[in-house]
Amino acid sequence: MNTSSLSTVTGVILAGGQGRRMGGQDKGLIPYRQRPLISHIIMLLKPQVDTIIINANRNTEQYHEYRYPIIEDTLTNFCGPLAGMLSAMQSCETDFILTCPCDSPQLSPQLRQRLMETLLANQADIAVAHDGDRLQPVFCLIPRRLAEHLENYLEQGERKIDLWFAQHNTVAVDFSDQADSFINFNRPEDLATHHAKIESDIPVLGFSAYSGTGKTTLLRQLIPVLNNKGIKVAVIKHAHHLFDIDTPGKDSYEIREAGSQQTLVASSRLMALMQTNVNTDQTPQLADLIPRLDTSTLDIILVEGFKHESFYKIELHRPTVGKPFIYEHDDNIIAIASDETLSLNRKLDQLDINDIDAIANYVADFITHWTR
């Protein structure tokens, strides 16, 4: 039995700071990979919790666009993360709050699971993430019953989060294998470094599955439904290394075989570019393929395959195929679609693989959270 499922948890995104080291900018709203930082957090936190609260003390109208409750600190003068935690504990109705900052866009998909399991196993009051070198105090699981104690602590003028933890049975939870999930942005130069990794200015969502699960069949059914919703789609598909879209005897084939490295065939109806890869041992990378698309005409890029690359994916899983889960070894999977109800060891959105309308609605929601 997954004991963590017995307790309800509110995810609390802490966006109530002043961003002094970021020049006073509201960090949750700073663009990262073409969308606000907080939208990355929501996408990764949503499958792990029962509900979400955003703690923000300014720009609340912009945060309301995400359609989650916004709570301000009950204490004035920006009293730090503990003030946001207290406000969340006072306003929610779940057993626990699970907190994370608004500027760590690589949030661990196992944050709730590991914190809850360690807290219960040690009969602790509070569970706090540890990256292998030090505690990460704003990534923590706290029972709502400690709200009164925290309120008294803050009323005494105390602000240090580690000192408040020390007053309770607090357990550190090992995330040394996921230390990168605590990377955050404090200064403009931090963002400058990471902006170099931008792969796409529009949403990219993959479908990851073993052969025989029905990736292509699902896409063939899904794309018309998305088109009917007004969503313009491109697809990047990983193919077998021997595939060829051209055939012997065609003029374009003969030209290519004569030594043309790139052959562009165009008509009023269709255009196709065929390029010969010089290095046949090099696997194509999404980062090289996405810029070849005219993204100005698109709303989303759907990807079939490339399951070893790091981008958001939906896993397709049919137990009758007899293959293991992919999500257990891929933190980028945010949902799983199957023809059976699955028992999973971490919380993921579950979809019916045969309910194309529901999957289309999920994709539309994904686009909404990406662009805001």
pLDDT at 353 over 80: yes
- Give residues with Cβ within 8 angstroms of 364, minimum separation 6: 226, 229, 231
Cα(224)–Cα(271) distance, rounded to whole angstroms? 21
Mark whether 30 and 178 lie in a shared domain.
yes
What average pLDDT does range 308-316 have in this prediction?
86
Q: Domain of 317: which CATH number?
A: 3.40.50.300
Last residue of a domain, one of 283, 305, 338: 283
What average pLDDT does range 225-252 have in this prediction?
80
> pLDDT category, 292, cuts 50, 70, 90?
confident
SS3 of residue 50 by DSSP: coil
In angstroms, the Cα distances linking 123 to 115, 116, 143, 147 are 12, 10, 12, 18
- Type of residue at 139: F
Mark whether 18 and 113 lie in a shared domain.
yes
Per-residue confidence (pLDDT) for residue 136, from 0 to 100: 96
pLDDT at 277 over 90: no
In angstroms, the Cα distances linking 252 to 261, 264, 267, 275, 279 are 12, 8, 13, 11, 21
Cα(348)–Cα(46) distance, rounded to whole angstroms? 9
Mark whether 114 and 171 lie in a shared domain.
yes
Per-residue confidence (pLDDT) for residue 161, from 0 to 100: 93
**Which range has the top average pLDDT, 57-61, 68-72, 241-245, 265-269?**
68-72
Q: What is the DSSP letter of 283?
A: P
Q: What is the pLDDT of residues 154-198, one digit of tens each?
A: 988 888 999 999 999 999 999 998 888 898 887 666 665 554 333
pLDDT at 114 over 50: yes
pLDDT at 5 over 60: no
Cα(106)–Cα(108) distance, rounded to whole angstroms? 6
pLDDT at 280 over 60: no
Per-residue confidence (pLDDT) for residue 137, from 0 to 100: 95
What average pLDDT does range 283-294 have in this prediction?
77
Cα(325)–Cα(322) distance, rounded to whole angstroms? 10
- Of the listed ranges 76-80, 163-167, 215-219, the one predicted with least confidence: 76-80
Q: Domain of 180: which CATH number?
A: 3.90.550.10
Phi and psi at residue 337, to the nearest 5°: -110, 130
What is the helix (H) or strand (E) element at residue 89, kind and residue range? helix 81-91
Length of the chain (residues) = 372
Mark whether 271 and 217 lie in a shared domain.
no
pLDDT at 365 over 80: yes
Per-residue confidence (pLDDT) for residue 218, from 0 to 100: 94
Q: For the full predicted model, state whether its pTM sits above 0.75.
A: no
Which of 110, 162, 155 minimizes the C-alpha distance to 328?
A: 110
Per-residue confidence (pLDDT) for residue 282, from 0 to 100: 53
- Give residues with Cβ within 8 angstroms of 308, minimum separation 6: none
Cα(190)–Cα(157) distance, rounded to whole angstroms? 32
- Give residues with Cβ within 8 angstroms of 140, minimum separation 6: 98, 99, 115, 126, 127, 128, 129, 165
CB 45 within 8 A of CB 11: yes
Number of domains, the chain:
3
Per-residue confidence (pLDDT) for residue 291, from 0 to 100: 80
In angstroms, the Cα distances linking 117 to 90, 153, 167, 173, 174 are 24, 27, 21, 9, 12
Mark whether 307 and 356 lie in a shared domain.
yes
Per-residue confidence (pLDDT) for residue 240, from 0 to 100: 63
Mark whether 318 and 261 lie in a shared domain.
no
Per-residue confidence (pLDDT) for residue 19, from 0 to 100: 61
Residue span of the structural domain in which 66 resides: 3-195
Cα(178)–Cα(189) distance, rounded to whole angstroms? 23
Mark whether 152 and 215 lie in a shared domain.
no
- More confident call, 55 vs 262: 55
Mark whether 259 and 334 lie in a shared domain.
no
Q: What is the pLDDT of residues 16-49, one digit of tens each?
A: 776 666 666 788 888 776 678 888 899 889 989 9
Cα(32)–Cα(143) distance, rounded to whole angstroms? 32
Mark whether 53 and 119 lie in a shared domain.
yes
Cα(232)–Cα(130) distance, rounded to whole angstroms? 42
Residue 350 tokens read as 């579950």
DSSP symbols for 197-212? T---SS-EEEEE--TT
Mark whether 317 and 343 lie in a shared domain.
yes
Per-residue confidence (pLDDT) for residue 364, from 0 to 100: 94
Residue 266 tokens read as 């165009």
Mark whether 348 and 362 lie in a shared domain.
yes
C-alpha 130, offset from chain centre:
21
Cα(315)–Cα(333) distance, rounded to whole angstroms? 7
Q: Bridge partners of 263?
A: 274
What average pLDDT does range 54-76 have in this prediction?
88
Mark whether 279 and 290 lie in a shared domain.
no
pLDDT at 1 over 50: no
Residue-averaged pLDDT of the chain: 85
Per-residue confidence (pLDDT) for residue 242, from 0 to 100: 56
